[in-house]
Amino acid sequence: MVYAQPGTLSQPRPRYLIIDVVRGLAIIGVVIYHFVWDLRFLQFTGPDATLDVIWLWLARVLQVTFLSLTGVSLVLAHGAGMRWPAFWKRFSIIAAAALFVSIGTYIAFQEGFVYFGILHAIALFSLMAVPFLRAPLWLVIGVAIIFMSVPFIWQNEMFNARALSWIGFWTAPPYTQDLQPIFPGFGYTLAGIAVMRIILLAGWSERLERLKHTGRTYRGLVLAGRWSLVIYLVHQPIMLSVLVPLANWLQPGQTAIAPVAQTRAEQRAVFYGSCVQFYKSSQGESDDPVADQIRADDYCSCAADIMDENDLLGVTRVEDLTPQQSTIYSAIPVLCQAMAAEPLDLTAGEGDASGEP
């Protein structure tokens, strides 16, 4: 299949089911992520250092996936020529859904409401991406790299204000339940555009079309991907309508067993043990177990020191961190990499510092 020339409308492209599958997996990931968040928020579960870092990185993967798929979908729908009625219909639906999320989260969280979350970003980025659907490919790639890299090179406190935080250069993230700033977010959308255009230009679209299966699981993921927006909007109200009454009845925050670590020293020991276990499992075993242990000790000693010095050991939920603590918490992997002889590269692939040891 040949990529159509700019400004021409060719026959509708077949729907690539594998893209629906990826979107379906992503929306299932969102449901799982929010379910665990709800359990923590309602105090059904307690803190777990290993789980925290996994969940922080899951959130990042889901963000990149949805924003990249936005670019992929724009190319498939409009790469051969803009279909403006369809574009504005989709934009209006997403913008209305974003407004619904803002209103709902304002009712639930007041000042922590979502004012520029994933749906707001998808709506705005779809508009911003239109000129790049037929711009020179080198320009698309270059601008994508700029958007993805600049916020990790330069920040300024003026962007900590809510009115400017959606741009993305803040030094401390503002209080909100979801924030997907233009930098680096729009870069992921441009990356999706670039990848899909390369696939079409290289004539790989037929291979992409053949990536399908008749199995029940595959068909279920395709269905979830096609209904991902509806699932996104309704899954939290449904889960909370069950969990909140259950929490009011069981009072898990009052009846839960007290944490094992009662003193700072014990808290540090618990954190250190979880960190070492996670580090070694992520690094993989080498031929020198002694060196593996030394690297884990160096890394996690640094992490435990930072957690201790900034009063992070006693925090039971990531959501309870102050903006300053959240910034420190997210930067621990970068700060402690140099302490390990062969540091674990937790930022590989995205250049992002979010996460915990």
DSSP per-residue codes, 95-106: HHHHHHHHHHHH
The answer to whether position 317 is within a domain reads: yes
pLDDT tops 80 at residue 340: no
Helices and strands in the chain: count of H runs, count of E runs: 14, 0
Statement: the pTM of the whole predicted model exceeds 0.75: no
CB 267 within 8 Å of CB 312 = no
The verdict on 153 and 239 lying in the same domain is yes
More reliable by pLDDT, 171 or 116:
116
pLDDT tops 50 at residue 348: no
Please tell me the predicted confidence (pLDDT) of residue 47. Answer: 64
Give the number of residues written for the chain: 357
Residue after which a domain boundary falls, among 197, 216, 246: 246
Please tell me the predicted confidence (pLDDT) of residue 351. Answer: 35
pLDDT tops 60 at residue 287: yes
The verdict on 221 and 161 lying in the same domain is yes
Range in 48-62, 261-275, 300-314 with the lowest mean pLDDT = 261-275
- List beta partners, residue 179: 116
Average pLDDT of the segment spanning 112-130 = 96
Report d(CA 108, CA 183) in Å as an integer: 27
Report d(CA 226, CA 261) in Å as an integer: 46
Residue among 231, 101, 126 at smallest CA distance from 176: 101
- List beta partners, residue 116: 179
The verdict on 79 and 205 lying in the same domain is yes
Question: Would you state the structure tokens that stand for residue 114, as one six-digit string?
Answer: 């979502």
The verdict on 223 and 118 lying in the same domain is yes
3-state helix, strand, coil in the chain (%, to 5): 70, 0, 30
The verdict on 137 and 242 lying in the same domain is yes
The verdict on 239 and 263 lying in the same domain is no
**Mean pLDDT across the chain:** 83
Average pLDDT of the segment spanning 322-342 = 70
Report d(CA 104, CA 240) in Å as an integer: 13
For 281, the domain range is 259-337
The answer to whether position 6 is within a domain reads: no
The answer to whether position 355 is within a domain reads: no
Range in 103-107, 215-219, 234-238, 255-259 with the lowest mean pLDDT = 255-259
The answer to whether position 298 is within a domain reads: yes
- Residue 75 CA, chain-centre distance (Å), reads 22
Number of domains in the chain: 2
The verdict on 177 and 288 lying in the same domain is no
The verdict on 168 and 82 lying in the same domain is yes
Model confidence at 254, pLDDT cuts 50, 70, 90, reads low
pLDDT tops 50 at residue 352: no
Q: Which long-range contacts (CB under 8 A, 24 or more apart) does 39-44 make?
A: 39/243, 40/317, 40/318, 40/319, 41/317, 41/319, 42/243, 42/244, 42/247, 42/252, 42/253, 43/247, 43/252, 43/253, 43/256, 44/243, 44/247, 44/252
